[in-house]
Structure 1
Amino acid sequence: MRLSPHFTLRELTRSQLAARRGIENRPAVGEIENLKRLCTEILEPVRAAFGVPFSPSSGFRSPAVNQALGGATGSQHTRGEAVDFELPGIANQTLARWIRDNLEFDQLILEFPDAEDGSGGWVHCSLVADGNRRQVLTRTRAGYSPGLGGDDMCQIG
């Protein structure tokens, strides 16, 4: 099932862990609608802006998959509201800053970037139907901090 011009349901539900352990990872209708919104309002604009084809590393996770991965209780991934991704050849800090400056989102996390150049790790981005918080964080081994690796802004908008 195509969720948007460049992204499919299979891409947004793929899980090696679920396949290895035989865990079901199938979203319900409402979760599919949330995934469509993510694709249309986050992933497609990113692809258009950077001109780089990519496939998300994590989208929807059933509660069982999320638990097996050690994901946060109540993770937006379990509602189809969050996606993790990176772009080949683009520093994740650059990607996260572009999203922060150009798109509507609920939560944007630069996850485990390289301290020197902002590469490495991945970008976590979530979107809800109403009431997006525009929360911006960086996550390192030491925990979460506001902003994007040295930025002093944690709330935009």
Structure 2
Amino acid sequence: MTTKLTAHFALEELACTQHRELDNTPPAEVVGTLRTTAARMEEIRRLLGDRVITVSSGYRSPALNRAVGGSKTSAHLTGHAVDFNCYGFGPPREVCRTIVGSDIRFDQLIEEGQWVHVSFDPRMRRQVLTKRPGGGYELGLRS
């Protein structure tokens, strides 16, 4: 059974993991946040021409976050962040450029190389970062 959060995003999609040995069931308070996150992802989907968005990571339980080497303060822990691709639109850098050029509100947008990370943490700083090839992040998008 699929639990629809919005027209195009389901709870199971925003809480899936390849680490089957770990329970990644979001607590009730996080499900509400995921509903809001899914609604904001619908805005991004519309911006990208209503093309399919493929989610690779949404909510992460503390155990899953540790297993994947996530930050201890990751917005994935609270259900505010999504890692995704929109293959029908273009590469991650182009997706990021399009989001930055829009009026969509976000806290953090990171061009991770192979995917896009977006956070809707309530701070809504509109911080834009690019992952450096050797590790770490730099402010802004590389051209």
TM-score normalised by length of structure 2: 0.90
Deviation at 1:59, TM superposition (A): 0.2
Partner AA of 1:8 in structure 2: A
In structure 2, stretches of 5+ residues that fail to align are none
Residue 140 (structure 1) shift: 2.1
Compute the displacement of 1:54 (Å). 2.4
- Cα shift readout 1:85-136 (whole Å, capped 9, x = no counterpart): 0111312111111222221000100002xxxxxxxx11000002x3311110
Indicate conservation of the 8 Å contact 1:11/1:55, yes or no.
no
Counterpart CA distance in 1 for 2:105 and 2:138 is 20
Moved beyond 6 Å, runs of 4+: none
- Aligned partner of 1:108 in structure 2 is 109
2:111 maps to amino acid: L
CA distance in 2 between counterparts of 1:131 and 1:83 reads 16
CA distance in 1 between counterparts of 2:99 and 2:36 reads: 15
Q: Which runs of 5+ in 1 are unaligned?
A: 113-120, 151-157
Number of matched residues?
A: 137
Matches of 1:82 and 1:44 in 2, distance apart?
14
Considering fraction of residues, name the structure with more helix.
1
- Residue of structure 2 equivalent to 1:14: 16
Structure 2 residue 133 is the aligned partner of structure 1 residue 141? yes
Structure 2 counterparts to residues 2-81 of structure 1, below 5 A? 2-17=4-19, 19=20, 22-41=21-40, 43-49=41-47, 50-81=49-80
Identity %: 39
Kept in 2, the 8 Å contact 1:111–1:139? The answer is yes
Aligned AA (1:36): R
Residue type of the alignment partner of 2:71: A
From 114, 123, 130, give the equivalent of 1:131. Answer: 123
State how far apart, in whole Å, the 2-side matches of 1:144 and 1:13 are.
25
SS of 1:16's partner is: coil
Question: Which secondary structure state, in structure 1, belongs to the residue aligned with residue 138 of structure 2?
Answer: strand
Write the distance in 2 (CA, Å) between the matches of 1:94 and 1:38.
21
Partner of 1:95: 95
